Amino acid sequence: MQSPNMLTKFESKSSRAKGIAFHPKRPWILVSLHSSTIQLWDYRMGTLIDRFEEHDGPVRGIDFHKTQPLFVSGGDDYRIKVWSHQSRRCLFTLTGHLDYVRTVFFHHELPWIISSSDDQTIKIWNWQNRSLICTMTGHNHYAMCAQFHPKEDLVVSASLDQSVRVWDISGLRKKHSAPTTMTFEEQIARSNPNQADMFGNTDAVVKFVLEGHDRGVNWVAFHPTLPLIVSAGDDRLVKLWRMSETKAWEVDTCRGHFQNVSACSFHPHQDLILSVGEDKTIRVWDLNKRTAVQSFKRENDRFWVIAAHPEINLFAAGHDNGVMVFKLERERPASAVYQNQLFYITKEKHVRSYDFSKNIESPSMLSLKKIGSPWLPPRTLSYNPAERAILVTSSADGGSYELVALPRDATGAIEPTDTKRGTGNSAVFVARNRFAVFTKSNQQIDIKDLANSTTKTIKPPPGTTDIYFGGTGCLLMITATSVVLYDIQQKKQLAELQVNGVKYVVWSNDGLHAALLSKHNVTIVTKSLQQISTLHETIRIKSATWDDAGVLLYSTLNHVKYTLMNGDNGIVCTLDQTVYLQRVKGRNLYCLDRYAKPRILAIDPTEYRFKLALVKRNYDEMLNIIKTSSLVGQSIISYLQKKGYPEIALQFVQDPQTRFELALECGNLDVAVEMAKELDRPKLWTRLSLEALAHGNHPVVEMTYQKLRSFDKLSFLYLVTGDKDKLRRMAKIAEHRGDTSSRFQNSLYLGDVQNRVELLKELDLYPLAYLTAKSNGLSEECESILEATGMTEDQIKLPPMGEPTSIPKPIVPTFTSPWPAKVTSTSAFETALLGPGEEDVVATNSEDLEDEPVELEEGDDEDAAGWDMGEVDVDTSEDFINVESAEAGAGSSEADLWTRNSPVAADHAAGGSFETAMQLLNRQVGAVNFSPLEDRFMEIYQASRTLLPASVGLSPLVNYVRRTVNETDSRKLLPTIPRDLEHITTVDLVAGKTQMRTNKLEDGVRTFKGILHDVMLNAVGTQSEVSEAKQLIHTAAQYTLAMSIELQRRSLTGTSTDLSSFSDETKKRALELSAYFTVPEMEPNHVTLALFAAMNLAHKNKQLSSALSFANSVIEKGTNAKFKESARKIKAICERNPNDTLEIEFDQFAEFDVCAASYTPIYNGSPSVACPYDGSKYHQKYKGTVCKVCEVAQIGAPASGLRLTV
């Protein structure tokens, strides 16, 4: 019997593992191997931390020290080694055993080590002074195992001599403990060592010898609290012993292993015994009944050792190929949250509740002791508030569920009386009185009612592993690679999302979002299973809960973290033990720990609230947070910077360097200058100068250049800003510095020729000086140079020279102030930060924040004004409130609500308010003739009411059918309208076009007029549907017109194409009508039909010119190959003599509409009126009459346009 709840947490592959030790605090495990290696694993991360290889041959015994960074090992090299795992080396070796060392253990408080060896002795060592302090002899075969008692001065040992011995070592303790109070007898005893036995062994005496195994005993262990001993032997038995002060006796035997039992152990907290054996099994026994509880079998590996973690529910077993770390049971307490209440099952299997609003834990309400097997905690709990019932699942017996009603008041752990049960792996409530049960083995979901009878059966997608509530009437089905949303009612799959290994589903409080938790991933989805974000965690994710603001808090093994919808996440706090989050309220995080006790963690939600406010641009909230909490930290700053809010980050930073960086990033020069001054580093000045230059802020640039002593740049800056004084000063400075090239440059900038000549002369560059003087017309200077150099003017050859250039003067004194740069608008945030005194500024500056909503409102009002002509009282509020507050009397029916809630004519018709519906239509589309709409009105009216039979003798209850099925707000209720837009386009429009194709024109006209009437009284949801409807109206009107023209022609001449028997006038009219038939907009193949008919008629009646033009059109636009073929033939014929015998009023080249009443052309530019509903055109004289196409609207009437949406 493979147990389903042995939960393997870690497995390693190695050679045979002989010894195992858990670190008491860290997630570490030491494994000693048959191959002489000792491994140190982190079983949580699954990584090998270290290896220790100094033993020679197999290492069998290993133990961590409880408090010191030490561990001890013993091996087949007869040695015991003590190691430091901090310095990662062997500290010293204890020698003395004469054969293999089997086990080594530290004492829980004294600096002692106990070892057992094949040399038949058990030795106790002091690891502080590294000495052997006691040798216990007595076993006459290998000593296989020896352990200290966890509290008393006892030792228990097991040997292949088939005995278990209990030793009293109180003497040893006395001898080695500090000489505090020593009784007289003790002093005697100490002074008389001679009274010891011949080996000097008074320190340890055999207290009991336990005989009962009839083969060698491999392992023995004390119970942590009770006077019990468990031993395991080659006789395949696990024996339980009890001892008193004076004697010890065998209690019972656990039979079941069919090979040597290698090791055994008591469960540290529960009444269980664990044993492992060479039969490749781990077995768990009930301590009180000594019956097998469960067992786990490995395919190929014999087990050699088992160890229990001293504190948490974790075990490790060593086998032929490595080590496995496992749990015996799930520690996740079954729980469910409903509004302010948490329901959970304690370790004693009691159902309790916890009230979040009062922080009160209820007494136990129910005992579920009898549910499932005694050693299996219930797996899940689902709560039904309507029935106050819970649904508990347990993995016992291949999965079972139990439906239990909770008592009204918690009065103690009573046994439930009326429970319903069944088999299944998962069970969840899906509605008030329905729950779903999933059975994995046959892949089936049963929907059951509260009486536990199946009402429906669903086949989930293959490979389904679990089910969760999926919103009302829906289920989420989890497979290994995906999640499927399934509607139970409609029995269909609504959505599917590929997510691997989802284990838990957590719904947000408003039911709009859900978090799918996998081992290492959190995926946030909407209620329709659209993925919003996903994140990965390296540490295992345990649980999650939603904040009311839409932030998901989740717990890993050691952290509580948060994630926003956009995937931004961070740490909320660290955990010292694993908890399962249930609810977050303010600063309290409610969770259940592994002992199923409710705990409240105080958390600081500032960070995620701040981020949320940032994402939502809720600056007030941010401001509030900044003011009320100390939100400073590198993470928030870098977060803000990364997210593009340097100006906000700036508010948090104290560090000048960071402030400088942020100030540059957001262009806040003032702050940057301030910080640069504080730091005063050339690099920063350089960067600041670049930034300031880009801003055009030259005073800052000037200052930075001064700081940097960039004289050349400074000079140039003064030049371009026109600051002559400063430029002159620069010239002086240059002179002072003796920088000639700079002096020259400055004199050039200043246009100071004299100075330049002087400079050149100083440098003995007389030719250049002369040239400069000469070209600027300084003749005196020229002469003095000539004089100085002793040359005459004739000796110098000069190139031809022009006029000396004059230096342009600055027109604008730019230097006085910087160019007016675009004012960097202080962010709403900054202005808000400035304080309440500046609130006006906030109001005006933060346009996009505060003005917008105002505008929106205005927009709404305008809209309302727009359909004010609807005049229909939209004053919902007054009457409405009345209804709610009135004590008695009748209320207004839903039909009345509809008319109040909607400006759509169809909704009024449905509400039975025909008068207002007509008024609406009259104003919207100029409707005046309503009799064609009678059926439509009645249809809408009668489709919106159902008659529900109720009490005998009373009339049935009228209920109102809504199109807003999910709405309960009475101000948003709207009636259903039969024959919606989709119905019309997919049924009627198609039918109408078919009638066109099949030449059933009378039916076609009726169909298209019907469409016009149906659309006029209709309602749609979206703007795109509105435009679709408009298009539909146009199409229907065009087809109606086209068909009516053709019908008119047929009424004149019938279907014959030969018109020779008719009068010229009739003939002319028939030909015209056939030509007009081609004008309205129709589908290309329908236009082709019209063109083809017109071509044939014209051709037959010798209207060759017209026929030619139709033939051309057919060839050009036609969609039918056959028609094109005949068109080409006709074209060929007509081209020979393109003349009409009869002049008709049809200009193939002119653009015109056809009047829908007279069927005559209305040429572009000539006066016309249109139907306000369908847009059909008419000659002026028809104004004021009813449109021939829709038969409802008045031609040329003022109209605001049909309204189809609310």
Partner 1 sequence: MDPFSADGELTTLHTYFHQCLYPAVLSYDLSPLSDSNKLPATILQLRAHLALNQYSEALSVCASNKGKVDFDAVAICARYMQAKDRGDGSSVTKASEEASALATKEGDNATVQILCGTVLAGTENEDEALELLSRHQGSLDAVALIIQIHLQQNRLDLAKKEAQSARKWAQDNLLVNIAESWVAMREGGEQYQSAYYVFEELAQAPATQSVKSLLSQAISEMHLGRLEESEAALKQAAELEPENELVKANQLVLLTLAGKRDEAAKAKPELEKSGFAQDLAEKKKEFQAACERYQPKFAA
Query: Could you say which residues in the range 885-944 bind partner 1, by CB under 8 A?
Result: 888-894, 912, 914-915, 918, 922, 927-931, 934-935, 937-939, 941-943
Smallest gap, in angstroms, from Cβ of residue 424 to partner 1?
20
Site for partner 1, residues 866 to 885, rule: CB under 8 A? 883-884
Task: Give yes or no for residue 490 binding partner 1 (CB under 8 A).
Answer: yes
At a CB cut-off of 8 Å and minimum separation 6, what does 1003 contact? Answer: 995
What are the angstrom distances between the C-alpha of 812 and each of 691, 716, 746, 815, 941? 24, 16, 20, 9, 79
What DSSP state is assigned to residue 406? P
Smallest gap, in angstroms, from Cβ of residue 1169 to partner 1?
12
- Interface stretch with partner 1, choices 123-131, 331-339, 495-503, 1177-1185 (CB under 8 A): 1177-1185
Residues 1124-1163, mask of contacts with partner 1 (x by CB under 8 A): ---------------------------------x------
Rounded CA separation 319/309 (Å): 18
Rounded CA separation 476/488 (Å): 10
- Mapped to the 3 state alphabet, what secondary structure does 342-378 carry? EEEECCCCEEEEEECCCCEECCCCEECCCCCCCCCCC
Residue closer to partner 1 by CB (options 59, 1171) is 1171
Rounded CA separation 1121/1140 (Å): 27
Task: Give yes or no for residue 1056 binding partner 1 (CB under 8 A).
Answer: no
Residue closer to partner 1 by CB (options 187, 986) is 986
Which of 696, 978, 1021, 1175 binds partner 1 (CB under 8 A)? It is 978
- For residue 401, report the phi and psi dihedrals to the nearest 5 degrees: -130, 160
Size of the site for partner 1 (CB under 8 A): 72
Which of 820, 949, 1165, 1167 binds partner 1 (CB under 8 A)? It is 949
Residues 460-489, mask of contacts with partner 1 (x by CB under 8 A): ------------xx---------------x
Residue closer to partner 1 by CB (options 10, 486) is 486
Smallest gap, in angstroms, from Cβ of residue 1203 to partner 1?
19
Residue closer to partner 1 by CB (options 139, 962) is 962
- Interface stretch with partner 1, choices 38-46, 831-839, 958-966, 1034-1042 (CB under 8 A): 958-966
Using DSSP's 3-state secondary structure scheme, residue 671 falls into: helix
What DSSP state is assigned to residue 659? H
Rounded CA separation 22/1051 (Å): 103
Site for partner 1, residues 985 to 1004, rule: CB under 8 A? 987
Task: Give yes or no for residue 950 binding partner 1 (CB under 8 A).
Answer: yes
- Going by C-alpha positions, the residue among 841, 783, 776, 830 that lies closest to residue 805 is 776
Residues 443-462, mask of contacts with partner 1 (x by CB under 8 A): ------xx----x-------
Smallest gap, in angstroms, from Cβ of residue 1026 to partner 1?
20
DSSP string, 493-556: EEEEEE-SSEEEEEE-TTSSEEEEEESSEEEEEETT--EEEEEE-SSPEEEEEE-TTS-EEEEE
Smallest gap, in angstroms, from Cβ of residue 288 to partner 1?
41
Which of 433, 521, 686, 1105 binds partner 1 (CB under 8 A)? It is 433
Residue closer to partner 1 by CB (options 509, 929) is 929
At a CB cut-off of 8 Å and minimum separation 6, what does 1008 contact? Answer: 992, 1036, 1037, 1039, 1040, 1043
Residue for token pair 């009444």:
271
Which of 44, 332, 540, 945 binds partner 1 (CB under 8 A)? It is 945
Task: Give yes or no for residue 1184 binding partner 1 (CB under 8 A).
Answer: yes
β-strand partners of 113: 106, 125
**Contact assessment for residue 488 and residue 456, using Cβ atoms and an 8 Å cutoff:** yes
- Dihedral sign computed on CA atoms, order 538, 539, 542, 547: negative
- Interface stretch with partner 1, choices 354-362, 684-692, 948-956, 991-999 (CB under 8 A): 948-956
Site for partner 1, residues 700 to 759, rule: CB under 8 A? none
Rounded CA separation 30/70 (Å): 11
Smallest gap, in angstroms, from Cβ of residue 489 to partner 1?
7
Rounded CA separation 1076/1157 (Å): 13
Task: Give yes or no for residue 955 binding partner 1 (CB under 8 A).
Answer: yes
Using DSSP's 3-state secondary structure scheme, residue 812 falls into: coil
Smallest gap, in angstroms, from Cβ of residue 937 to partner 1?
6
Which of 239, 962, 1069, 1124 binds partner 1 (CB under 8 A)? It is 962
Smallest gap, in angstroms, from Cβ of residue 465 to partner 1?
27
Site for partner 1, residues 377 to 406, rule: CB under 8 A? 387
Residue closer to partner 1 by CB (options 817, 968) is 968
Smallest gap, in angstroms, from Cβ of residue 455 to partner 1?
7
Tokens at residue 893, please? 């029916």
At a CB cut-off of 8 Å and minimum separation 6, what does 699 contact? Answer: 818
Rounded CA separation 1091/1078 (Å): 6
Task: Give yes or no for residue 952 binding partner 1 (CB under 8 A).
Answer: yes
- Interface stretch with partner 1, choices 329-337, 431-439, 773-781, 797-805 (CB under 8 A): 431-439
Residue closer to partner 1 by CB (options 289, 432) is 432
Task: Give yes or no for residue 1058 binding partner 1 (CB under 8 A).
Answer: no
Smallest gap, in angstroms, from Cβ of residue 323 to partner 1?
52
Residue closer to partner 1 by CB (options 865, 954) is 954
- Going by C-alpha positions, the residue among 1027, 1011, 1080, 941 that lies closest to residue 1202 is 1027
Which of 954, 1061, 1136, 1165 binds partner 1 (CB under 8 A)? It is 954
Task: Give yes or no for residue 655 binding partner 1 (CB under 8 A).
Answer: no
What does the chain come to in residues? 1206
Site for partner 1, residues 254 to 313, rule: CB under 8 A? none
Residue closer to partner 1 by CB (options 880, 1062) is 880
Rounded CA separation 1190/1206 (Å): 24
Number of H helices, E strands in the chain: 32, 62
